[in-house]
Amino acid sequence: MWHDASYFHELQQILSKAGYTSYSMQFPCCQDNACYQEARRITKELVADLEETLQQQVEQPQFVILGHSQGGLITQSALQNSTVISERARGAVLLGTYPLGMTPPLGALLKEPRNMYNDFGYLWICLFGKLMNTRYTKHIFLMPTADETQPKLKSYIAGLLKAPSDGLVTMSHFPQAPTASLPLPTLVLGAEQDCIYPPHLLTDAFQERFPNSKQVIARDQAHCFVDPGWETAMAEPLFAWLDELLQKKEK
């Protein structure tokens, strides 16, 4: 994928220290446009993979399911279409993602002061399915103030630029319309400077789909939640919501 989710192993370490058991699942990217033309089938297969993984590896009778970016779309599809997942899910966290089935508000997106479209880097993605260079990668995934020469971020970006083509851009990323609102307790955690899924454009759609949701915006964070201070801006609201949901006693 364009933004390697392995970076979130640090979040898992923090979860562990707080007494939570977590499991991660990173979906493989599609290698050609034909894959995206069968988006419904691919989504169904990914949900089936997620369902099988949860049944085999997650021993707890209940869990909270978290999905970031495209993983958030898979999470929403899983809650909508998998009885196994929807019945065992105690709650859901939708992190830097998009309301399933919402028609992309292209006009509003293009008017955003910072967006991913008014740049040659977006044309490069459309033509080749890959990120063009460090500058554009930083533009869409990190804060403008991020120091991309810092060793950890430099290594992270280098890995993204080496990633294989993720398929051509199509609207089939958004193939499903939600059948009904879900009463499941849900945390919708967006990034203030997310120029891919700007949270302020998605509030009403998320509220319609998840009426029992809490919507939080992580300040000074971009789409990938890897900017300095993410442990406070993103992780603290997440833990506060988890603790309240699961009624954990303060130590």
Lowest-pLDDT range of 26-35, 196-205, 208-217, 229-238: 26-35
Is 151 part of a structural domain of the chain?
A: no
Q: Greatest CA span in the chain, whole angstroms?
A: 53
* 3-state SS assignment for residue 15: helix
Which position has the token pair 């599609």?
30
Structural domain total, the chain: 1
Rounded Cα distance between 194 and 159, Å, is 21
Between these two residues, 248 and 193, which has the higher pLDDT value?
Answer: 193
Short-list 210, 217, 208, 213, CA closest to 189: 217
pLDDT at res. 27: 62
89 φ, ψ to 5°? -75, 120
191 φ, ψ to 5°? -105, 130
Between these two residues, 179 and 197, which has the higher pLDDT value?
Answer: 197
What pLDDT digit, counting tens, does each position of 51-107 carry?
777 777 777 778 899 999 888 988 998 898 888 888 889 999 999 999 998 888 889
Is 38 part of a structural domain of the chain?
A: yes
Flag whether pLDDT at 21 surpasses 70.
Answer: yes
Q: How confident is the model at residue 221 (pLDDT cuts 50, 70, 90)?
A: very high
Q: Which domain holds residue 61?
A: 5-104+171-245
Is 225 part of a structural domain of the chain?
A: yes
Query: Can you say whether residue 19 is alpha, beta or left, with left for phi > 0 and alpha for psi between -120 and 50 degrees?
Result: left
Is 118 part of a structural domain of the chain?
A: no
H helices within 112-221, ranges in order? 120-128, 134-141, 151-162, 203-209
How many Cβ atoms from other residues are within 10 Å of residue 149's Cβ? 9
Q: How confident is the model at residue 1 (pLDDT cuts 50, 70, 90)?
A: very low
pLDDT at res. 249: 43
* 3-state SS assignment for residue 216: strand
| Alpha carbon 116 to its chain's center | 16
Q: Which residues pair with 187 in a beta bridge?
A: 93, 214
Rounded Cα distance between 95 and 235, Å, is 11
* CATH at residue 34: 3.40.50.1820
Quickly list DSSP for 74-90. Answer: HHHHHHHH-HHHHHHEE
Is 192 part of a structural domain of the chain?
A: yes
What pLDDT digit, counting tens, does each position of 208-219 carry?
999 999 999 999
Is 59 part of a structural domain of the chain?
A: yes
Is 145 part of a structural domain of the chain?
A: no
Short-list 186, 173, 151, CA closest to 66: 186
Is 250 part of a structural domain of the chain?
A: no
Between these two residues, 31 and 8, which has the higher pLDDT value?
Answer: 8
